[in-house]
Structure 1
Amino acid sequence: MTIQTPDELGGLRRAGALVAGILSTMRDQTIAGVTPRALDAIGAAMLREAGAQSAPVLTYGFPAATCISVNRVVAHGIPDETPLCDGDLVNIDVSAELDGFFADTGASFVVGTASAAQQRLLDTTREARDAAIAQLRAGGMLNSIGRTIETVAARRGFQVIRDLQSHGVGRALHEEPGSIPGYYDRRDTRRLHAGMVITVEPFLATHSTRTDALDDGWSLVCPKGVGAQFEHTVVVTHDAPIIVT
């Protein structure tokens, strides 16, 4: 969507604060022995209490309130009853509709203490997200997002997962300007404009540039190695972008 009024920005901020709070609470509860299903129940309860709806359920009929991906599963993982263990690489993605506004956020982290290799992947993915957001300005090129992400990833020795991309958001979970690659596409001539609402969500991996789908119809895995994601919902302006999550 394109934000046109202060009321619209306020509505988006409220949706963003909700999903950010849910993600933070779920992350705090992610310890060895807890199951992804139990974590999802926490998120579902917080959505109900706020009068919000899970965006993946509302939009696609996803079989859980949130996406929780573990180890080789990098996106769209279905929360199950398998207890988490120290050293597991977990991604939680929370998106919701609140009073007609959609916001989307996600983060990867390790249960317990991360290994040095895991921490490098996490730090680089977060750096790529933050660097891509920092350079957003109305009038700039949309493909500057992918260019920045790809530059950070290459400098640190990681690969961009090319079939998982950022996207427009706001009045729906996925909307204009459509998919936004996490790699540089010189053919993409779209420009950013003031008020544009998008996610910025790099997916970086140790040894994969594409994902494979599991038989459950949702979970996407790295064929080799592991991946990570960090995501914010952002409003583009002529000055510094507004992060609502």
Structure 2
Amino acid sequence: MTVTNQAELEGLQAIGRIVATTLQAMARAMEPGMTTRELDGIGRALLERAGAVPAPEDSYGFPGATCISVNEEIAHGVPGDRVIAAGDLVNIDVSASKDGFFADTGASFAVGAVAPAIERLCRDGRRAMEVGIAQVGADRPLDGIGNAIGRFAAARGYTLIRNLASHGVGRALHEAPEVIATWPTKGDRRRIDRGLVLTVEPFLSRGGVRAAEGRDEWTLFSQPRAPVVQYEHTVVATERGAIIVTLPH
């Protein structure tokens, strides 16, 4: 989607606030002993109360309102009977629509005490997203996002999952440009149009380089197996940089 007027921006910001607030509430509610299905139920209730429709379920028939991925699961985790435990690394991805506008956000959370390396991975995962967002602006190179994230990751000894990309969003959950690399690339001559709506969502890892599909045909796992975090915002490109629409109230 390309934003062309204030009403469209306000529509995106409205659904952006809803998914951001839902994500924060789920993170606050998460505790050891809870199943991922119970956590998903909290997210579903909040979205429904706000008049929003869970996007993965509505768009793709995903078996849950949100994606909840634990430890070795790195994305698209299906809510179910898995019990969240102290020391787990949990990713929550919330996307939804309202009044014809879609927004997408996500974050990884350590449950209780974890190793210092995992704490650092979480902190640096958020920073990697922020580095990517700083490259978003009208008429800037699209590959600047992944190249900047790649420099950040390499300088700190991390790897990046290279087959889970950022994407256009706004009037559907996934729109053109459908693949926006969050890792270094060469030869991409595309530039960012003014008003383009896109996600910035690097998957930072301590060794993983690809995502592989699990037996349920939804959940994705790191190859090789390694800790992975993902942080995601939906943004709009302007001449002054990125407007982040997935911010809570």
TM range (shorter): over 0.9
Query: What SS does structure 1 have at the residue aligned with 2:57?
Result: helix
- In 1: Cα distance, 2:40 partner to 2:76 partner: 13
Q: Which residue of 1 aligns with 2:106?
A: 106
Equivalent position SS for 1:241? strand
Bigger Cα displacement from structure 2, 88-97 vs 210-219 = 210-219
User: What's 2:204 paired with?
Assistant: 204
What residue is the counterpart of 2:238 in the other structure? 237
Q: Distance in 1 between matches of 2:77 and 2:232?
A: 16
* % identity of equivalent residues: 49
Moved over 6 A (4+): none
Distance in 2 (CA, whole Å) between partners of 1:73 and 1:153 is: 21
2 CA distance for matches of 1:178 and 1:220?
Answer: 19
What's 1:174 paired with? 174
The equivalent of 1:194 in structure 2 is 194
Query: Paired residue for 2:67?
Result: 67
Distance, in Å, in 2 between the alignment partners of 1:118 and 1:80 is: 25
Q: Tell me the alpha carbon deviations over residues 146-165 of structure 1, each in whole angstroms, 9 at most, x when there is no partner.
A: 00111111111110100111
Taking the aligned partners of 1:62 and 1:115, their CA distance within structure 2 comes to 32
List aligned pairs for 1:73-222, cutoff 5 A. Answer: 73-222=73-222
Once residues 2 and 212 of structure 2 are traced to their aligned partners in structure 1, the CA distance between those partners, rounded to angstroms, is 33
CA positional deviation for 1:79:
1.0
Count of paired positions: 245
Task: Report deviation, 1:113.
Answer: 2.0
Q: Distance in 2 between matches of 1:16 and 1:60?
A: 20
Please list every run of 5 or more consecutive structure 1 residues that lacks an aligned counterpart in the other structure.
Answer: none
Higher alpha-carbon deviation: 177-186 or 90-99: 177-186
Worse-superposed segment, 76-85 or 97-106: 76-85
Q: Which amino acid aligns with 2:24?
A: S
1:43 corresponds in structure 2 to 43
1:53 aligned onto 2:53: yes
What is the distance in 1 between the residues matched to 2:140 and 2:212?
A: 33
Residues 138 and 241 in structure 2, CA contact (< 8 A), matched pair in contact too: no
RMSD (Å) for aligned C-alpha atoms: 0.9
Following TM superposition, by how much is the alpha carbon of 1:114 offset from its aligned partner in structure 2, in angstroms?
Answer: 2.8
Shift of 1:226: 1.5
Deviations 1:101-145 (A, max 9, x none): 000000001101232010111111111100111232211100001
Deviations 1:53-85 (A, max 9, x none): 111011110000000000010000001112211
Q: Is the 8 A contact 2:150 2:183 kept in 1?
A: yes
Please give the per-residue CA displacement for 1:155-188, whole angstroms capped at 9, x wherever unaligned: 1111010011100000000001221011122211
**TM-score, normalised on structure 1?**
0.98
- More displaced stretch, 203-212 vs 70-79: 203-212
Match of 1:90, SS state, is: strand
Distance across 2 between alignment mates of 1:134 and 1:46: 30
Correspondence for 1:22: 22
> What SS does structure 1 have at the residue aligned with 2:207?
coil
Match of 2:117, SS state, is helix
Distance in 2 (alpha carbons) for counterparts of 1:222 and 1:241: 30
Task: Tell me how far apart the structure 1 counterparts of residues 228 and 221 of structure 2 sit (CA, whole Å).
Answer: 9
Q: What corresponds to 2:31 in structure 1?
A: 31
Which ranges of structure 2 fall in alignment gaps of 5 or more residues?
none
Residue by residue, what CA displacement relative to the aligned partner does 1:15-66 show, whole Å, maximum 9, x if unpaired? 1000000000000011111111001001111111122111101111000000
